Amino acid sequence: SDYSQEPPRHPCLRINAKEPFNAEPPRSALVSSYVTHVDFFYKRNHGPIPIVDDLERYSVSITGLIDNPKELFMKDIMNLPKYNVTATLQCAGNRRTAMSKTRKVKGVGWDVAALGNAVWGGAKLADVLELVGIPKCTNATPSGGKHVEFVSIDKCKEENGGPYKASIPLCQATNPEDDVLLAYEMNGEPLNRDHGYPLRGIVPGIIGARSVKWLDSINIIAEECQGFFMQKDYKMFPPSVNWDNIIWSTRRPQMDFPVQCAICSLEDMNVVKHGKITIKGYAVSGGGRGIERVDVSIDGGKTWVEASRYQKTGIPYTADESSDKWAWVLFEAKADIPQTAEIVAKAVDTAANVQPENVENIWNLRGILNTSWHRVHVRVGH
């Protein structure tokens, strides 16, 4: 593979793997703004970044189980109504490094910043599919168990040099309420190469792996996508499964994301100047579920206080129509700590789901979905 034409990247990024390029910002960058700056948005790749230099000729083919397959050009997609959806994209491998500390897991290591919150601009996939004669889906008219497969133009070794791909159920793709986008903008600017220029899927509320970048084709298929990243990766196994006894077909591809949170204003083992500290971080759940509560402890989880929550700065967050349902919620609490402290955060989503206390109990060999209580140890010193 050829990594000689990678795009420039911000020097603050922590590189977890160089080729393919996988990097995350320092965690403090995440809580400096509600919408994550493109430079600080994590980059998760499985091959070299493709180059699309002729936008006029770039097209996406819509094929598969449809009567009239179509080739769509950028102008066709941009002619559809444009939507801006604020959505958090989180890699299933976020916080994998911490899971690996209890028992080694396979995969690129990540601290707590393999996620970001962006305003994605583009056409709704439901509108795009209507152009090829597929009606919108409502709960009253389910679309027959079919799937929509996104195929990229990149090349990755897991697919033996073939493209990255993934699928979602057709009913999700064609339900306007699910806000699935073919996005050409990120935070009001055209997508950059790292994030999928010129066009990517954005599937809010589920693991980042299904938001395929650099789209080449969209296929309507009878069964879910049989690609590596759907069938041999991104599945959640119980702690008893290891590389000798794994049977991939026993588990479904992971889609939804459980409730997650992490402290970003402090690093583990930080030495702080005095005992008055600010504990800031993010909380986010899958499926469009809001964040009901964030609890913070400074004594390792013996006692708790509730943190304040916000999306737009200065406006207290409530999980209702006024909030961005696909986006993270930032939280903040102030505390006065003794000489040493174990700070813990845990979130509760609007379905009353809670985070598991310990990573051991959710350990899985691929190291995905580490949503255990987030802990940082700090010491007051000089």
Least Å from the CB of residue 278 to ligand MTE: 27
Alpha helices in the chain (DSSP H): 27-30, 74-78, 96-102, 125-131, 170-173, 228-231
Residue 46 sits in the site that holds ligand MTE (CB under 6 A) = yes
Residues β-bridged to residue 281: 263, 331
Which residues, 129 to 158, sit near ligand MTE by CB under 6 A?
152, 154
Contact (CB, 8 A) for 318 and 337: no
Binding residues for ligand MTE, total number by CB under 6 A: 18
The residue from 23, 30, 87, 91 that contacts Mo ion (CB under 5 A) is: 91
CB of 44 or CB of 124, closer to ligand MTE: 44
Whole-angstrom Cα distance, residue 98 to residue 375?
A: 10
Binding mask 71-110 for ligand MTE (x = CB under 6 A): ------------------x-x-------------------
Residue 327 sits in the site that holds ligand MTE (CB under 6 A) = no
The residue from 112, 123, 209, 376 that contacts Mo ion (CB under 5 A) is: 209
Query: 238: closest CA among 61, 74, 105, 363?
Result: 363
Binding mask 197-236 for ligand MTE (x = CB under 6 A): -----------xx-xxxx----------------------
CB of 89 or CB of 279, closer to Mo ion: 89
CB of 208 or CB of 290, closer to Mo ion: 208
Instruction: Count CB neighbours of 50 within 10 A.
Output: 17
Question: In 3-state terms, the chain is what percent helix, strand and coil (to 5)?
Answer: 15, 30, 55
Q: How far apart are the first and last CA of the chain?
A: 49
- The answer for 208, left when phi > 0, alpha when psi is -120 to 50, beta otherwise, is alpha
Q: Binding partner of residue 212 among Mo ion, ligand MTE, none, CB under 5 to 8 Å per kind?
A: ligand MTE
Among 37-45, 127-135, 169-177, 296-304, which window interacts with ligand MTE (CB under 6 A)?
37-45
Alpha-carbon torsion angle 106, 111, 114, 118, nearest 10:
170
CB of 214 or CB of 331, closer to ligand MTE: 214
Least Å from the CB of residue 217 to ligand MTE: 12
Backbone angles phi, psi at 46, to 5 degrees: -120, 5
Full DSSP string of 285-339: -STT--EEEEEEESBTTSS-EEPEEESSTTSB--SSTTS-TTS-EEEEEEEE--S
Residue 366 sits in the site that holds ligand MTE (CB under 6 A) = no
Which residues, 278 to 317, sit near ligand MTE by CB under 6 A?
none
Query: 364: closest CA among 223, 240, 260, 232?
Result: 240
Least Å from the CB of residue 287 to ligand MTE: 17
Q: What does the binding site for Mo ion look like in residue numbers (CB under 5 A)? A: 44, 91, 208-209
Q: What does the binding site for ligand MTE look like in residue numbers (CB under 6 A)? A: 41-46, 89, 91, 152, 154, 164, 195, 208-209, 211-214
